[in-house]
Amino acid sequence: MNSRLSAALLTLGTSLALPLLTQAPASAVTVTINSLTYDVTVIDRAYAGNEDLFQLPPQGQMPWWGDSTGDIAADFARQVFDQLGSGSSAGFGPVFAYEFTGGAVAGISQSLTDPNSQSDVQIDPASPVKYATARQLLPASVPGPLPVLGAAAAFGWARKLKRRAGAAVTR
């Protein structure tokens, strides 16, 4: 009886949780730009009072910041496409802000329906907006001798199995 109740609760919990998971936008998206991998997420705040976030890493969280052409921000936005969900403007994703100029934050916002459509935006620095941020992911390192030791162990194990198989045939 207890196992049936547990199974029923598990089934109910799963059926309730799955629709929620499929509707929620991804909390982070991994993209690769110029052979560097980044984890891209969204923050919802104003530029004013948060200027430290709008800088190049390691101080800031926008590796595209300072590129006055917006090309790097556009590359990030294009790769992310619709994976981060809606931004502050209907039909567009979060803003990839790339510079502060003329009293406004300049950025790129990617269309959520057309991967080839982006919008240049100028944002009031006091207005809270959904901005994209990114942090670089470092490659996982494998200790040097580990693969060699693994290969040696596999070779020794294979020889042991071969001897056992040979001994079984001669009996």
Residue 58: asked if its preceding bond is cis (omega within 30°), the reply is yes
Q: Which residue has the higher pLDDT, 7 or 30?
A: 30
What pLDDT is stored for residue 145 in this prediction?
Answer: 63
What pLDDT is stored for residue 102 in this prediction?
Answer: 93
Per-residue pLDDT, averaged over 129-143, amounts to: 85
Does the structure show a pLDDT above 60 at 1? Answer: no
The β-bridge relationship of strands 129-137 and 118-123 is unpaired
Which tokens go with 102?
A: 């003329």
Task: Give SS3 for 74.
Answer: helix
**With 0-12 CB in 10 A as exposed, 13-18 as middle and 19+ as buried, what is 53?**
middle
Which tokens go with 98?
A: 């790339």
In tens, the pLDDT along 13-70 reads: 545 444 444 334 446 899 999 999 999 999 999 999 999 999 998 888 999 999 999 9
In tens, the pLDDT along 76-125 reads: 999 999 999 999 999 999 999 999 999 999 999 999 999 999 999 999 99
Asked whether the whole model's pTM tops 0.75, one would answer: no
Between the alpha carbon of residue 142 and those of residues 64, 146, 147, 148, the distances in Å are: 30, 7, 8, 11
What pLDDT is stored for residue 160 in this prediction?
Answer: 75
Task: Compute the distance between CA of residue 146 and CA of residue 94 in angstroms, rounded to an integer.
Answer: 43
Does the structure show a pLDDT above 70 at 74? Answer: yes
